[in-house]
Amino acid sequence: MSAPAPFALLAELTHRCPLACPYCSNPLELDRKADELATADWIRVFEEASDLGVLQLHLSGGEPAARQDLTELVAAAARHGLYSNLITSGIGLDRDRLAALAQAGLDHVQLSIQDTDAGNADRIAGLAGSHRRKSAFASMVTEVGLPLTINAVLHRGNLARMAAMVDEAIGLGARRIELAHTQYYGWAARNREALMPELTDAVAASATVADLRERTAGRITIDYVPPDHFARYPKPCMNGWGRQSLNVTPRGLVLPCHAAQTIPGLSFWNVRDRSLAEIWRDSPAFNAFRGTDWMREPCRSCERREIDFGGCRCQAMALTGDPRNTDPVCVLSPLHDRVEHLTTVPRVDAYIMRERPAKASTR
C-alpha cells in the first residue's frame, strides 16, 4: 500500500548513557560508539527527512549529549527546517554548551526525571547526585530561553509521587509534563515484576491525572500514557505501523518503532545503503504491518481496526510469540489471559540494574 509522508523522526544518536535506569527500553545489546553514524551521515539523514516531509526531529539516545558533534547536528536540523527536540537526562550538558545548542537553533528540551525524592531518584537512575544535577539543568534550560518539557516514566517505585512530580515540573519552569507508564521492552521487560503497579494503583492513577489537570489548568499541560496491561483496548501504537514516524538507530538501521528489532524475521534497511525515502516506501519491515491487510481475526473484521490498528506488534510478539496476533492487551483477543496473568504475578522490590559504563562518552 502507498505510505503517507511521515511527520516525525526519532534520531537515536547514541546508546551511550550516564544512567542505568531499570525501565530502559533500549535493546539489551547496545550499539557501540565505533558503529555509530558519522556526523555527515546524520546530516544527510536530516536533509532526506526534510525532503520526505518530516517536521519534527527528536534527538535521543542513550544520552545525545555524549555526541561531541551535537551542536553541529542541531544546526543542520535547523538549516533543513526541522523542529528539534532534545531528549536528555541533563547529565553532561553545562550552561555554555546548552547556550550553544540554543544559538544553533535547538527548539525544545525534554528532560527526564526519575522521582521527586532525591534518594529514590538517584537509586532508579543508578547515579548518585543525578536528581540534584537534573534540577540545576532545568534552571539552565529556562535561563537560555528554551521551552522545557519534563518526562517521568511511571512505575511501582514512584507512582505514589505523581502529583509531586507535576508540582516539581511547574517549579522547574516546565510548560508540559509527560507522565508515561513503563513500556516493557529491553531492560524494562527484565524488571517487569519490580516495575508493574498493582491494579488498584493503576486505576487510581488515571483519576489522579484528571484531578491534576483540573488543579493545574493554565499552568502546565499534562500528557498521560496509561499502563497497557490494565487497559481494555490497546493504544494505537505509533498511530499505526509505518504511518506517521520512523526511528533511526545509532548505527543507521531504520525502524517503524523503537522496539521493532524484537520481532524476528523483519529486514531493516540502513541509511548507509539506501535513502530514507526508499526505506520509508519500500522497506519490508515498514510494509510488514502497514494498513490492515495483514490482520487476522478478530482484528480484521473489528470496527476498531483503524482506531488502534491491532495494537502493538512488539507486545504481541513478546507476549504471544507471534507479531500478527491481536495485541493481548485487548479484551477481544483470544490470548488476553496472557496479560491478566502478568498483572497478578508476585511483585519484587529489587531492580536488576543495567550496567552503566564508567565513562558514557567512551562506550
Which residue ranges are tagged as binding site for [4Fe-4S] cluster? 17, 21, 24
Instruction: Please list, in sequence order, all residues whose beta carbon lies within 8 angstroms of the beta carbon of residue 129, skipping any fewer than 6 positions away.
Output: 122
The residue assigned the cell 555526541 is: 67
The x, y and z cell numbers of residue 131, run together, are 536528581
Q: What gap in Å lies between CA 272 and CA 252, rounded to an integer?
A: 7
Q: What gap in Å lies between CA 40 and CA 77, rounded to an integer?
A: 12
| Annotated binding-site residue numbers | 17, 21, 24
Q: What gap in Å lies between CA 240 and CA 245, rounded to an integer?
A: 9
Length of the chain (residues): 363
The residue assigned the cell 516531509 is: 53
Residues 300-312: b if buried by 16+ CB within 10 A, e if exposed:
eebebeeebbbbb
Other Cβ atoms less than 10 A from the Cβ of 45: the count is: 24
Other Cβ atoms less than 10 A from the Cβ of 239: the count is: 12
CB 219 within 8 A of CB 250: no
Q: What are the CB-based long-range contacts (under 8 Å, 24+) for 120-128?
A: 120/157, 120/158, 124/21, 124/22, 124/157, 124/158, 124/351, 125/19, 125/20, 125/21, 125/89, 126/19, 126/20, 126/21, 126/22, 126/353, 126/354, 126/356, 127/18, 127/19, 127/20, 127/91, 127/356
